[in-house]
Amino acid sequence: MGGVPELTPLDVLRTTFGYDGFRGEQEAIIDRVVGGGDALVLMPTGGGKSLCYQIPAMVRPGVGVVVSPLIALMHDQVTALENLGVRAGFLNSSQSPDEQRTVERQALAGEIDLLYLAPERLDLARTQEFLDRVSVSVFAIDEAHCVSQWGHDFRPEYLKLSVLGRRWPAVPRIALTATATPATRREIVERLGLPDARTFVASFDRPNIGYRIEPKQQPLRQLVSLIRAEHDGDAGIVYCLSRTSVEATAASLVKEGIDALPYHAGLPASVRSANQSRFLRADGVVMVATIAFGMGIDKPDVRFVAHLDLPRSIEGYYQETGRAGRDGLPATAWMAYGLADVVQQRQMITGSEGSAAHKRLLGQHLDAMLGLCETLRCRRQLMLDYFGEASQACGNCDTCVDPPTPWDGTVAAQKLLSTMVRLKRERNQQFGAGQLIDILLGRRTARVEQWRHHELSTFGIGTELIESQWRAVVRQLLAAGLLAVSSDGHHTLEITAESWPVLRGERRVPLREDAVVRAGAGRKRAASAVKGSAAAGDLSTDDRALFERLRAWRSETARDASVPAYVVFPDATLAAIARQRPATLDALFTISGVGAKKLESYGDAVLTVVRGGEARADAAPRS
Ligand code: ADP
Ligand code: ZN
């Protein structure tokens, strides 16, 4: 490294990224790769995977090549690095041949330390010959689970990546993913040809995310009150199952004065990319989306992820909610879940075309997800358990904070089930939850009269519960498999083999009492919690005012430079500045997230805002 002073990884972490120390296994991983060894890194979203390859690429001589499937995000990733003073570039199909040639020239001349590449390029002879001439310091394979054929993100191009080890055996490789299952891990090692990789598994816990699952009553109103009470002005993602509900929900939020945008695969590509870009760049946009949205979105300040429909598996749910709070600040994962969700998903599985084995697998995933919804235990503990990680009750989920009351639902279950048995035996009829509940409550509706259900001996035997409680009973029996959705396509319910021991009194049915979502419950929370962004959670009133001024300065600066706001400074850094109120550049430099380049670019402006002055994003005021 003729003449160039040698930088240690810690130097780079401190000077370039402005952080004090490594997190978890980052240091060991970086040492392994800097030393020329291969590594497989399993870390949850927000765990800090990027530094694990960025720092080796900067410390080792040559160019680090990052293979990433997320072409749409490469530009932002490179801009963020440039803002830190890191020399980086990317090559993908969005560029003109001229732009590509420029980047190639820079790589050959050693003028960049990091080069992002789309995986399909590596299959081209042209790219391979180009890489033969570049001195490659490390190959990083991001989102490495895309190589798994059974996973949810399979990309055939990833199978070709085994060429890296064969063609450039001397270059260390690091594969990274946030997918935890042992099967995926084995597949990555085998298919990428990484037998000598040392595996680093981080804890999958995300303690800063508070998990909450509420009974679904008026989902939109529940969502709006969550946003108003706890996430006013925050960026968030709202997941819906269908395109129609994405559009309807986004429109309703906008009507409520919330800055929301829709995203689903049915929108034109240009609208999708414009909406994604606004979500990434502007502060406080709420994206309403199908699960087509989100992979690789590395926006660190997403403060909440809301689910208005039941996810199909715990894996999917954990990945989606993991997009909240990557910056480590408090964030919320919230879901509204109800009887209709269970009926719909069970119906979808029964009616699907797949093989019996496939349906069984879908059924198992759904059962685990329902188990999470109906649990009396700590939700986080249950999820980590599912991923094979032991943990304690967390204190930051709804079942920890406000433990649900268990009650003995045996008699209620017997009343419901025996009504169903009677209808079937005496009249060969099957009905859905609505009619069954009307019968139990003794309501003489038009449909009850039409079917003469008031003549049943179980008519009106369930008045000790109200309708929402009966719906909760049906939902929990369905979740537990003590009831089933029939395959007639009409969402009617039927008895299962498991129902009989309950009817015979041989099996008890413990249920959880739903937290009651009263009108005004949201308002009550709003009054007790300080309104506003959760990122500023522990700031005093004065500090919070400064934080908001810093955010305003950041918005303007980001807009003028057309970069995402978090590329200027993440929320955590602004909160630390608001708390510590540095008076000098030296003091500012000690704050986590302030590196040398950012000190130079923004230091004076930040100090002016801290002093209470008006800092322009731009020396010449615009009109
Ligand atoms: P991942 O790719 O694993 O989802 P990132 O690499 O995007 O996570 O890191 C998540 C956030 O944590 C980023 O904002 C990053 O800058 C920050 N971060 C990573 N490592 C550290 C560290 N050692 N100290 C402080 N912040 C860190
Ligand atoms: Zn908990």
The pLDDT-based confidence of 231 (bands split at 50, 70, 90) is very high
pLDDT score for 16: 95
* Average of per-residue pLDDT across 17-40: 96
pLDDT score for 385: 87
Between helices 467-479 and 433-441, what is the axis angle to 10°? 130
Identity of the highest mean pLDDT range in 60-74, 222-236, 471-485: 222-236
- Calculate what percentage of the chain has a pLDDT beyond 90: 70
Between helices 541-561 and 596-611, what is the axis angle to 10°? 130
Q: Taking 80 as the threshold, does the pLDDT of residue 530 lie above it? A: no
The pLDDT-based confidence of 622 (bands split at 50, 70, 90) is very low
Atom of ligand 1 lying closest to residue 21 CA: 23
DSSP-derived 3-state class of residue 318: helix
Looking at every residue in the chain, the average pLDDT score rounds to 89
What would the two tokens of residue 493 be? 């319910």
Tell me how far the alpha carbon of residue 400 lies from the centroid of ligand 2, in angstroms. 4
pLDDT score for 519: 35
What does DSSP say about strands 510-512 and 406-408: parallel, antiparallel, or unpaired?
antiparallel
Q: Taking 90 as the threshold, does the pLDDT of residue 392 lie above it? A: yes
CB half-sphere exposure, 542, CA atoms < 13 A: 6
pLDDT score for 47: 86
Separation of alpha carbons 379 and 335, rounded Å: 12
* Ligand nearest to C-alpha 45: 1
Between helices 339-351 and 356-374, what is the axis angle to 10°? 170
DSSP H helical segments within 288-402, as ranges? 314-321, 339-351, 356-374, 379-386, 398-401
Separation of alpha carbons 603 and 584, rounded Å: 9
Domain 209-401: what homologous superfamily?
P-loop containing nucleotide triphosphate hydrolases (3.40.50.300)
491-494 contacts at long range (C-beta below 8 A, 24 or more positions apart): 491/343, 491/344, 491/347, 491/432, 492/430, 492/431, 492/432, 493/420, 493/430, 493/431, 493/432, 493/433, 493/436, 494/420, 494/424, 494/430
* Average of per-residue pLDDT across 164-190: 89
Tell me how far the alpha carbon of residue 360 lies from the centroid of ligand 2, in angstroms. 29
Pocket around ligand 1: residues whose beta carbon is below 6 Å from it? 19, 22-23, 26, 43, 45-51, 298, 300, 326-327, 570
**Residue identifier of the C-alpha nearest atom 24 of ligand 1:** 19
Closest CA to 256 of 299, 277, 283, 226: 226
Sheet holding 39-42, edge to edge: 88-91, 114-117, 63-67, 136-141, 173-177, 39-42, 198-201
Separation of alpha carbons 212 and 228, rounded Å: 16
Q: Taking 90 as the threshold, does the pLDDT of residue 134 lie above it? A: yes
* Ligand nearest to C-alpha 209: 2
pLDDT score for 525: 39
400-449 confidence digits (pLDDT tens): 999 988 999 999 999 999 999 999 999 999 999 999 999 999 999 999 99
Backbone dihedral angles phi then psi of residue 434, each to the nearest 5 degrees: -60, -50
* Ligand nearest to C-alpha 300: 1
Beta carbons of 122 and 65 less than 8 angstroms apart: no
DSSP-derived 3-state class of residue 204: coil
Beta carbons of 589 and 600 less than 8 angstroms apart: no
Beta carbons of 579 and 543 less than 8 angstroms apart: yes
Q: Taking 90 as the threshold, does the pLDDT of residue 6 lie above it? A: no
**Residue identifier of the C-alpha nearest atom 13 of ligand 1:** 327
Give the CATH class of 406-516: mainly alpha
Please indicate whether residue 164 or residue 354 has the higher confidence score (pLDDT).
164
- Same topology between domain 9-201 and domain 209-401: yes
What does DSSP say about strands 260-263 and 286-289: parallel, antiparallel, or unpaired?
parallel
CATH code of domain 535-619: 1.10.150.80
Instruction: State the Rg of the chain over Cα.
Output: 27
Beta carbons of 321 and 198 less than 8 angstroms apart: no
Separation of alpha carbons 573 and 553, rounded Å: 14
Residue holding tokens 């530009």? 75
Q: Taking 90 as the threshold, does the pLDDT of residue 190 lie above it? A: yes
What would the two tokens of residue 460 be? 């009106």
* Average of per-residue pLDDT across 515-538: 49
Q: How far is CA 504 from CA 17, 19, 478, 500, in A?
A: 66, 64, 18, 6
240-249 confidence digits (pLDDT tens): 999 999 999 9
Global pTM value:
0.81
Domain ranges, ordered by start, for the chain: 9-201, 209-401, 406-516, 535-619
pLDDT score for 620: 40
Q: Taking 80 as the threshold, does the pLDDT of residue 192 lie above it? A: yes
- Calculate what percentage of the chain has a pLDDT beyond 70: 93
Tell me how far the alpha carbon of residue 386 lies from the centroid of ligand 2, in angstroms. 14
DSSP-derived 3-state class of residue 375: coil
Atom of ligand 1 lying closest to residue 20 CA: 24
571-617 confidence digits (pLDDT tens): 889 999 999 999 999 999 999 999 999 999 999 999 999 998 766 55
CATH code of domain 9-201: 3.40.50.300
Residue holding tokens 């994003």? 617
To test the ligand 1 pocket, which listed residue (12, 16, 17) has its Cβ within 8 A of the most ligand atoms?
17
Separation of alpha carbons 447 and 453, rounded Å: 8
pLDDT score for 516: 59
494-506 confidence digits (pLDDT tens): 999 999 999 999 9
* Ligand nearest to C-alpha 297: 1
Helix, strand, coil share of the chain (percent; to 5): 50, 10, 40
Closest CA to 198 of 6, 1, 438, 35: 35
Q: How far is CA 403 from CA 376, 377, 407, 512, 514, in A?
A: 7, 8, 13, 10, 11
Residues contacting residue 77 through CB under 8 Å, at least 6 positions apart: 68, 88, 90, 116, 298
Tell me how far the alpha carbon of residue 396 lies from the centroid of ligand 2, in angstroms. 5
Closest CA to 622 of 548, 554, 559: 559
pLDDT score for 362: 86
Separation of alpha carbons 549 and 606, rounded Å: 10
277-287 confidence digits (pLDDT tens): 899 988 899 99
Q: Taking 80 as the threshold, does the pLDDT of residue 532 lie above it? A: no
Q: Taking 60 as the threshold, does the pLDDT of residue 521 lie above it? A: no
Beta carbons of 92 and 122 less than 8 angstroms apart: no
The pLDDT-based confidence of 619 (bands split at 50, 70, 90) is very low
Tell me how far the alpha carbon of residue 306 lies from the centroid of ligand 2, in angstroms. 18
pLDDT score for 504: 95
Separation of alpha carbons 185 and 17, rounded Å: 30
Q: Position 210: which residue type?
A: G
pLDDT score for 4: 54
DSSP H helical segments within 402-445, as ranges? 410-427, 433-441
What would the two tokens of residue 384 be? 């980590």
Q: Taking 60 as the threshold, does the pLDDT of residue 215 lie above it? A: yes
pLDDT score for 563: 85
Q: Position 14: which residue type?
A: R
Q: Taking 90 as the threshold, does the pLDDT of residue 307 lie above it? A: yes
pLDDT score for 180: 65
Tell me how far the alpha carbon of residue 299 lies from the centroid of ligand 1, in angstroms. 11
* Average of per-residue pLDDT across 235-255: 96
Beta carbons of 583 and 606 less than 8 angstroms apart: no
Residues contacting residue 279 through CB under 8 Å, at least 6 positions apart: 235, 261, 263, 285, 287, 299
